[in-house]
Structure 1
Amino acid sequence: MDYYLYRLFQRLIEYSAILRSGKLFLRIYGRFLGCDREKLYKIRYKYQGKLRSELYGDLKDLVGVGLNSKDVGKRLILPSSFIGGPRHMLEIFQDSMAITRHNNHQYIFLTMTANPNQIATERPDLVARVFKLKRRALMREIKKGKVFGPVVAYVYTIEFQKRRLPYMHALFFLQQSHKICNRDQVYKIISAEFPDESIDPTLYQTIKRCMIYGPCGNRNPQMACMENEKYTKRYPRIYTKTTTMDTDGYPVYRRRETNTVHCLANGQQVDNRDVVPHNPYLTRMFDCHINVAYV
């Protein structure tokens, strides 16, 4: 793996035909799968004998349903050290749930997505590297800058969309003294409206380009979220004059009816009902899709 990472790094004093091969460059990413295949080969043929073990209760259950007990323990077991394996995923899931139980379940849920239509479409390594730098800067703003308040714990996961763009889901647990308890605290950190274009044109353009859901419903019945002529994601939302908390304690964000219609690049018209909840400060800084919600 280190060899391929070395070959992928761009150096000013060295000409690399690999990095200038266009779409053919994507073939090298198959070697990452080859590295995983070599790891799986070692696990299967060298270490499975050491992993052959089973609980007494499980043996009793298997014999009870008519299975041959001699076959128990011969299935392929991936250790928790194999990244992405069932045991590894279960281990980090249990760690995340332990953090959630310890911090009383209240948290800030955040989703950050890489911008589409980037210039380096044939260099997914650069796209991933830029996203990683942005993610680090975002985490620094939240942890050290205390955008939401003092953070005592956090968990996150990186996934990839079908269009090969990375995105992050993250949960941030706040210090007990800074827990969000009322609608005013929610309103200070989360917005679900268009800003005034004359006051903040940069944020306005980012919201219009990155923070609009759909539009769906009657305006666009071909959206993927439409099922049986009904929208499943509850967009467009209803107008609300102020941020409130519903009976279950979840916020209903302010979406005022301003009689102002905003036109997207594709000609679709949207308003505050279509805006995804966000933090204006972070959205303006990183100029990408950053969905923020209190749950």
Structure 2
Amino acid sequence: PGSCVSPREYHCYKLQIRDGDFNVLLFGRRLTQQYIVDMYIKIESIRLAFYLQPSTQVLIRADLYQGLVDSVVAGETRACMTGKRIVLPPKFIGGPRDMRRRYLDAMALVQRFGKPDLFITMTCNPQWEEITRELEPGQSPQDRPDLVARVFKAKLEDLKDLLFKRKLFGEVVAHVHVIEFQKRGLPHAHFLIILKSNCKITNPDQYDEIISAEIPDKDKYLVLHDLVIKHMMHGPCGVLNSKNACMENGNCRYHYPRTFSDTTLQGKDSYPIYRRRDDGRRVRIRGAVLDNRWVVPYNPYLLMRYNCHINIEVCSSIKAVKYLFKYIYKGHDRASFVIESRGDNVVIDEIREYRDARFISPPEAIWRIYSFNLSEMSPPVLQLQVHLPNMHLVHYEDSDNLDNVLHRESSSKTMLSEYFRMNSIDIYARNFLYKEFPEYFVWDSSCKSWRRRKQKRIQIGRLVSAHPAEGERYYLRILLNHMRGAKSFEDLRTVEGTIFSTFREAA
């Protein structure tokens, strides 16, 4: 096994550029695109086949029932559903449970640090010099998805360094970003950034310092003017072009053209109304004459630095936050159709639902083959399991003696039970809710214990979700979110000296 490589590693090796080595796989144009997509589908099919194994499904369902992962529907927590649901676990990157877990983790950051301040979208420009100069004669950027992915990854790392280490807009206390792929294949990144309290963007004057939504003066800023015209003009759509891709029911879904505004105004429910003065500047784009009402908000420095479509918005309202997080964690492109059979013995196959009608473009396939991250989050979020008494998961081998398993010390240890134990022996620990615990204590999975955190780098805790139909576990989760210093399950059921028989009564 030490000399073996995985299919992903093998194809990653085969799709590299090497000096003095003619790699025929990179010169097939459309065949190169097809090869990359086919090889990634093979890799993903192997991973999915592993999760289809009966023994793997038993372990996955055990995780679901014992409160180690988030509930998605009420049915999966009921015993009657055993064997009727084929589960795609949250460990499978890009699956629906993985995207839901990431969304809930991101909302945990909002709960801890407040709403995001900035929403940034960066889209790959296939005409970047780093891409075009590496093309062989007769090749176009779409013939080399490997180049497109690698150059975009490099630009993305530079943007992250600029935002998080060099603090372009101030000190960032938390952020998430997700990589997506357009139908035509170009990768783009969505960033949601939460700034430190003393760096918050709070008034329209500050908006104008970092965001512009106007066509620059061509005489003063010729290069910037040309970049805005090339990358940051929407449309034309509406009455100028009713067949544009953004049109829905006769209206632009992005609400262009916007209205003129002499000053920037605080938005009520979503983004601010940016300054768009009627200064007489007009440009002809795609057969139409457009003015400031058609400009997509941008930051001049970022646009000049990256020479691509890079949209930046201020999140002015908490009402926009949930929409934005669901937008960036909506999952992969798919065709939408459902074929259902009626009856009681319907098998809900999440793996088949994920695989059927999946749309994969060559840049996405090469991105996954190269094992580049699809999303990142900082600070990290730790999922805290929520289970009823004696309902936690115990792992053992077929050859183990069950008496020995039951008396093994690690068999009775869980995140929750050790939280109770720390509250019993450490007065300091009693100051924190269960969800606050990872900020001050570190979970050691090898010996299953909490220990005090020594480093400044923190981790945010999040209790895995529970559906109201789960009954007692749902009310247990409510109590854990509100009671500090609980030393046992009985402690959670105790209110003002009265010990209630159920968590529901205590809640």
TM-score normalised over the length of structure 1 = 0.90
Q: Compute the displacement of 1:229 (Å).
A: 3.4
1:144-174 deviations in whole A, cap 9, x for unaligned? 2322111111101111110011111110110
What letter matches 1:267 in structure 2?
A: G
What letter matches 1:279 in structure 2?
A: N
For 1:52 and 1:228, the matched residues in 2 are separated by 43
For 2:14 and 2:206, the matched residues in 1 are separated by 49
Q: Is the 8 A contact 1:52 1:74 kept in 2?
A: no
| Residues 1:270 and 2:290 aligned together | yes
1:272-294 deviations in whole A, cap 9, x for unaligned? 11000011100111000011000
Q: How does 1:1-295 map to 2 (within 5 A)?
A: 1-29=8-36, 30-45=38-53, 46-53=55-62, 55=65, 69=80, 72-116=82-126, 119-248=140-269, 250-264=271-285, 266-295=286-315
Name the CA shift for 1:5/1:227 in 2 (closer, same or farther; >3 Å): closer
SS of 2:178's equivalent?
A: strand
Identity of aligned residues (%): 39
1:189-244 deviations in whole A, cap 9, x for unaligned? 11000111122211111110110111222222222333443333221111111112
Q: Is the 8 A contact 2:126 2:148 kept in 1?
A: no
Name the CA shift for 1:247/1:43 in 2 (closer, same or farther; >3 Å): closer
- Unpaired segments of 5 or more residues in structure 1? none
SS of 2:201's equivalent?
A: coil
Q: Is the 8 A contact 1:151 1:174 kept in 2?
A: yes
Name the CA shift for 1:150/1:73 in 2 (closer, same or farther; >3 Å): same
Q: Is the 8 A contact 1:52 1:73 kept in 2?
A: no
For 2:177 and 2:99, the matched residues in 1 are separated by 13
- Which has the larger displacement, 213-222 or 92-101? 213-222
SS of 1:2's equivalent?
A: helix
Q: Compute the displacement of 1:249 (Å).
A: 8.0
Q: Which runs of 4+ in 1 moved over 6 A?
A: none
- Unpaired segments of 5 or more residues in structure 2? 1-7, 133-139, 316-507
For 2:126 and 2:199, the matched residues in 1 are separated by 35
Q: Compute the displacement of 1:18 (Å).
A: 1.4
What letter matches 1:135 in structure 2?
A: L
Structure ID, larger Rg:
2
Q: Compute the displacement of 1:247 (Å).
A: 4.5
> Aligned residue for 2:498?
none
Q: Is the 8 A contact 2:116 2:192 kept in 1?
A: no
- Which has the larger displacement, 147-156 or 281-290? 147-156
Name the CA shift for 1:182/1:47 in 2 (closer, same or farther; >3 Å): same
> What value does the CA root-mean-square deviation take over the aligned residues?
2.4
- Which has the larger displacement, 12-21 or 181-190? 12-21
1:64-95 deviations in whole A, cap 9, x for unaligned? xxx993x5244222222211123322221111
SS of 2:141's equivalent?
A: coil
Q: Compute the displacement of 1:50 (Å).
A: 2.3
Q: Is the 8 A contact 1:156 1:169 kept in 2?
A: yes
For 2:220 and 2:214, the matched residues in 1 are separated by 14
